[in-house]
A and B are shown apart, each in its own frame.
Chain A
Amino acid sequence: MLTYLIRRLLAVVVMLVVVMLAVFGIFFLIPKWTGVDVATMFAGKQSDAAALDGIRQKLGLDDPIIVQVFDFFKGILVGRDYVSAGDTLHCSAPCFGYSFKTEQAVWPILADRLPVTLGLAVGAAVIWLLIGLAAGVVSALRRGSIWDRAAMGIALSGVSLPIYFTGLLSLAIFSYGLGLVSNEYTPIEESFPEWFSGMILPWLTLAFLFGAMYARLTRATMLEVMGEDYIRTARAKGVREPVVIRKHAMRSTLTPIITLLGVDLGALMGGAILTETTFSLPGLGQAVLKAIGEKDLPLILGVTLITASAVVVANLIVDLLYGVIDPRVRLA
C-alpha cells in the first residue's frame, strides 16, 4: 500500500511538471517564435520602450529559458522576488507567478476565487449524484416502465441541452421572472441564505447536465450488473432483494461512477467556465476566461496547474477508494 502511494504521488509530481512545462512553453515560447514580443502583452495602451524593458526585467524574459523555468519552480517551492528599477515585488510560496495585469500574486487571486468554484462543484456534485444515482437505479430496476422512460427522457434532454441555454432559461424564469431566487452571488460568510439563494440555480443547472450523464451511466452499469452470475447466486441463496441491490449490485455499479466523479470534479475545479459566466459567479472559471481574453499568462498558468493538480489528486483518491468500495480490488 505504501509503495503504491509513493509511486502514485511521484507520478503526480511528474505529471504536474510536464503540464507546467507544456503550458509555460505555449504561453512564453510560441509567441516569441511567431515574432511577437511577450512583453507587449503586459504593457498597457502606452508601451514606451522603458516600460517594455521594465517588464522584461521584472519577468526575466531576457533570461535563458532554463533560468526562467528554474525561477518558476523556485517560486512555487520557496517564493521569489520580481525586481525592476528599485520596485521589488515579493511573491510568497507557493508563488504561481505574478499577474502584472492586476498587480497581484497569482496564488491569492486563485485562493480568493477557489471557494466559489469549490462550492459550485461540490454542491452540484451532491445533487447530481443523488438524482443521477436514484434515477439510474430506478430506471434499471423498473426497466421499460413509465419511470424508466420518464427518467431517461429527462436525462436525454439534460445531456443535449447546453448549460448556457438551461442556465439562461432558469435565470429568466426563476430569478428575473418569478423573483424566487437571487441572480447574484453573495459570499457565504456574508449571508448563508443569500449565498444559498444565489447558488441554487447554478447547482441545479450544472447538476442537470451531469446528473443526466450519471443517470444514464448508472442505468447501463446496473443493468449489466443485475445480469451477473453472482447476483443470481445471491438471489438463489434467498438474500432479500433490497440487500442484493445494496450490498452486491450497488458496489459494482459505483466503481465506474466514482471514477467519473473523480475526473469531473477535478476538471470542474479549473472553473466551470460556462456556468460561472452564465450566472456571473466570481470563481476560477470567470477569472481564467478574463485572463485568456487579456493574455494574463501567469494567471492562466496558475489555473491550469490547479486544474491539473485537482484532476490527478482526484484520480488518486478515486483509485484509493476502489479498495474500500469493492473488496475485490486490492492495491499492490
Chain B
Amino acid sequence: MTTQRSSRRRIAASAVAVAALLSTAACGGGGSDDEGDGKAPGFNAARAKTANASDKKGGTLKFIGTQDADSWDTTRGYYGFAWDFMRYYSRTLMTSKPVAGKGSAELVPDLAKSKAKISGDGKTYTYELRDGITWEDGKPVTSKDIKYGIERQWAQDVLSGGPIYLKDTLDPDGKYKGPYKDKAKDKLGLDAIETPTDKKIVFHLPKRNGDFEQMIAMPSASPVRQDKDTKSKYGLKPFSNGPYKFQSYTPNKKLTLVRNPEWKKSSDNIRKALPDKITLTLLTNSDEMDKRLINGDYDLDINATGMEAQGREKALKEYKGNVDNPSTGYIRYAVFPQTVKPFDNIHCRKAMIYGSDHKSIQNARGGPLAGGDIGTNMLPALVPGSDLKFDPFGIAKNEGAADVKKAKAELKKCGKPNGFKTTIAVRNNKQVEIASAEAMQASLKKIGITAEVDEYDGAQTTGIIGNPDYVKKKNYGIIIMGWGPDFPSGQGYGMPLWHSKYILDNGNNNYAMIDDPKIDKAFADAIAELDKNKAAQKYAAINAKVMEGAYYLPFTFEKNIIWRSSRLTNVGTTDAYSGRYDYAVLGVK
C-alpha cells in the first residue's frame, strides 16, 4: 500500500510538473514582436473599429492557417477568408468599402469609375472603367477581361467549386456554354454582357435583381486575361491586377506574395498595400498554430475560425489585448428534414425546439465568447432585415433552458406522447458540432426522445447530407450545420437554404426540404426590390415564415476569438468578411 501511495504521489507530482512546464514554457512572450513596440491595443480594440491606424510601409505581413483556400482561382474559391485575401491580387468593378464594422457592407467602386448607371427598369447596369488599371505585365485591364473572367463561371465542368450567382442571374436558362465551348472567335459569346469599348461594360439582366451589385463585387466577377487563363490550374498562379502578385505557392504548405510593380496607387482607392511581402504558412495542427501566434512568430490566422480551447484560454488570460471577439455572421443550427418521419409533422419539430436545452448547447460550442449568443431565429446580424431579438419560440427566455412542458404538449399533438427514436447527423471533423449534438441528445432524452448521434465523414458533406435520398435512408431526422451569408442580403444567405429550386440530388443545402410556393414567391418579390430598406423588410418576413414552419433550431449567433499580433496596423473586423479583418488594408509596424 505504502509503495502504491508513494508512487501515486510521485506520478501526481510529475504530472503537475509537466503541466506547469507545458503551460509556462509554451509561451515565449506573445506580442513581443521583433519589429513592433510590443503594445497590444486592448481586448476588442479592433472589433468593428480600426486599431493601430498607420500608413507605414514595408515589412512582411505573416499569415498562418490550418486550411488552404479551396482554390486561389477567383472563379473557383468559395471560402470567405480566400475572398478577403484575393483582394491582394485581384480587383472587381465594385468591392466592399475598406472600413471596419458595418460600413464595410457598403459597396464602392474599385475597377469602376463610379457606381453603375442603372436603367429605369432596373435591368441594365453600365460601368465605366477607371484609368491606370493594369495587369502585372503592365497591359491595361479592359472590359473584355472582366467579361471573360465572369464567363468562366459558366465553365463549371472545368472550374467547379465557386459561387455561380452571376451565371444564375444573367443566364438562368443556361443557354451559354462557357468560354471553353464558345464558338465565337474572341470567346466572348455571352449575350448578357456587352463591351462596347475597352472602358465600358454593360450588363443586361433578364429580371431585376436588387443584389446584382453584390454579385459584381464577389471575387468570382474578377477579370481574367484570356491569354493567361490556365484553366483548372489558374489557382496555382493567378495573373494579378492588384498590388501584389504570386511569387511562389505550394498548396497546403506556403504562399508568398510580393509587390506588383505595375499596380498604381493612384488607380486604387481601396488597398493600402503597405507590406512589401505577404506570406501564408499552412500547418495541420491548430494548437501549434495558436502557440506560434501567441509566441509572436505570425501576425494572424488567415482562416479566422477562432482559437482552440487551449490557446483561447491562454490568450484571454494573459494576452487579452491581442484578442477580438467578433460576430462571424454565421448561425449554427439543427435542421429537421421533413422527408424523415416524424419530422413531416410540425408539432414534432416544435417539440425539438422547445425540448432542447439551448444553454447547454451554447456551452458545448464554447460559451458566449467562443460560441456566441443563443440563437433565436434564422437571420444573422450581418444580413439587412435581421432582428436578433426576434424570438418566436422564446428560446432565449429563462437563460436558454428547455421548456419541457411545451415540448411534451407538442409531442402529444404530434401523436408521439412518449417520444420517439431518431438520428442526429453530425460531421466527424468538427468537434464543436459533435459536442452540440451530444448536448442536444442529452436534453432531448428528458422528453423521451432517443437521438442517436451519427458522425459521418465531414469531407463528404455534399454527397451525404447533401443527398436527400441518403438522408432519408439513414433516418437523419436532425442535421447539425452552420450557414453564413455569401453576401449581406437575404438572397445571399437564405435562398440556398429555403428556396425550393435549391432542393438538389447532390450538394443540397435546403436540408429541411422546404418546398413552399409562398416562400418562393416572397423571394422573387424581395429580389426584384431595388429599395434596400424595403428588401430588408421582405427578407425579415421570409425569416418569420421559416421560423413559423419550425424547420430549424438555431443554436447560436456565432462569435469567435481571433488573434492579432501587436505589430498589425489598420486592423479592424468587418461585416463584409464575416467578422474577419479587412486584409487589404493591413500593415505591420
Contact = CB atoms under 8 A, between A and B. Distances in A.
Contacts of B506: 37, 40, 47, 52
Contacts of B119: none
B507 A179 contact: no
B460 A41 contact: yes
A169 B250 CA distance: 30
B462 A40 contact: yes
B464 interface: yes
Interface string B243-260: 000000011111000000
B386 interface: no
A47 B466 contact: yes
A172 interface: yes
A256 interface: no
A290 B26 CA distance: 25
Interface stretch (B50-58, B159-167, B445-453): B159-167
A102 B297 CA distance: 27
Contacts of A36: 460, 463-464, 467, 470
Interface in B11-44: 18, 21-22, 24-28
Contacts of A64: none
Given A54-B158, A176-B28, A179-B28, A295 B429 contact: no
B236 interface: yes
A295 B250 CA distance: 19
A87 interface: yes
Interface string A32-61: 000111101111111110111111010000
A250 B571 CA distance: 65
B340 to A, nearest CB: 16
Contacts of A48: 156, 160, 164, 507
A42 to B, nearest CB: 8
Interface string A272-287: 0000011010100011
A332 interface: no
B-side interface mostly: loop
A103 B235 contact: yes
Given A53-B157, A89-B233, A183-B292, A40 B26 contact: no
B475 interface: no
Most buried by A among B163, B284, B429, B470: B284
A168 interface: yes
B463 A176 contact: no
Most buried by B among A48, A55, A86, A89: A48
A50 B156 contact: yes
Contact of B252 (A52, A86, A287): A287
Interface in A256-314: 277-278, 280, 282, 286-287, 289-290, 293-295
B473 interface: yes
A57 B156 CA distance: 13
Interface stretch (B70-78, B197-205, B265-273, B523-531): B70-78
Interface residues of A, number: 53
B536 interface: no
B246 to A, nearest CB: 14
B501 interface: no
A1 B463 CA distance: 53
Given A87-B180, A103-B71, A35 B470 contact: yes
A85 interface: yes
A94 B463 CA distance: 31
A162 interface: no
Contacts of A172: 21-22, 25-26
Contacts of B24: 177
Most buried by A among B164, B252, B291, B297: B252
B231 interface: yes
A32 to B, nearest CB: 11
15 contacts: A36-B464, A37-B463, A41-B463, A45-B70, A46-B78, A46-B163, A57-B157, A89-B233, A103-B233, A112-B253, A176-B291, A177-B25, A177-B28, A286-B283, A289-B284
